[in-house]
Copies of this chain bind each other. A is one copy, B any other.
Amino acid sequence: MGEKSAVRPGGRSARVQRAVHEAVQALDEEVPRDKLTVPQVAERAGVTPSTIYRRWGNLKELLADVAAERLQPDAPVADTGSLESDLMAWAGVYMEEMRSTPGQQMLADTLGSASTEQRQRCLQAQQDQLRLILSRAEARGETPLPTVEALLDGIMAPLTYRLSYAPQTLSKACLERWVAATLR
């Protein structure tokens, strides 16, 4: 697994990774999840099954890697003019995406991985986004500013908990309550 962090963009290893990720995403739309196998993914990607086993260990860890990759933000965080509204916008987009059927599957794939490696990538991305939101608030002169840790514990944690345990109870009002309490 250590190999992954040393992947050279455009190199052979990166091309294999991209082909395998694309094969998983394509098959995910065609094959019920519990019928998906490593040999199927390998055939679609044009690699040998042993390439996949060597690089990812097993199907579950491959799925977690694909999910963590897809969970990386693909748009910059919106600048809406205030810390409170930036946090609401950011958490609102995440809530909507993760409540969807593919979002619930991505979350389960990432949280179900036996190692914390994929989750650490997601956490890193969340921390980076929150740092950007806080730096904009600082530039606007907003004060006092919460820490990244307080934002994760106070907003992202209950959001993630409910996404896993009780997604039907989530609403914009929940987010408003958590954001207000964390900024208080």
Interface positions of A (Cβ within 8 A of B): 33-34, 57-58, 60-61, 105, 108-109, 111-114, 116, 119-120, 122-123, 152-154, 156-158, 160-162, 164-167, 174, 178
Contact = CB atoms under 8 A, between A and B. Distances in A.
A120 B157 contact: no
B108 A112 contact: yes
Q: How many copies does the complex hold?
A: 2
Interface of chain A, main secondary structure: helix
A178 B34 CA distance: 39
Nearest to A53: B34
Contacts of A105: 114
A164 B116 contact: yes
B111 A166 contact: no
A165 B116 contact: yes
A174 B157 CA distance: 13
A105 B161 CA distance: 17
A67 to B, nearest CB: 10
A33 B156 CA distance: 30
A164 B34 contact: no
Contacts of A58: 34
22 contacts: A34-B57, A34-B60, A108-B111, A108-B114, A109-B112, A111-B111, A111-B164, A112-B113, A116-B164, A116-B167, A120-B165, A120-B166, A123-B165, A123-B166, A152-B158, A153-B162, A153-B178, A157-B157, A157-B160, A157-B161, A157-B162, A161-B161
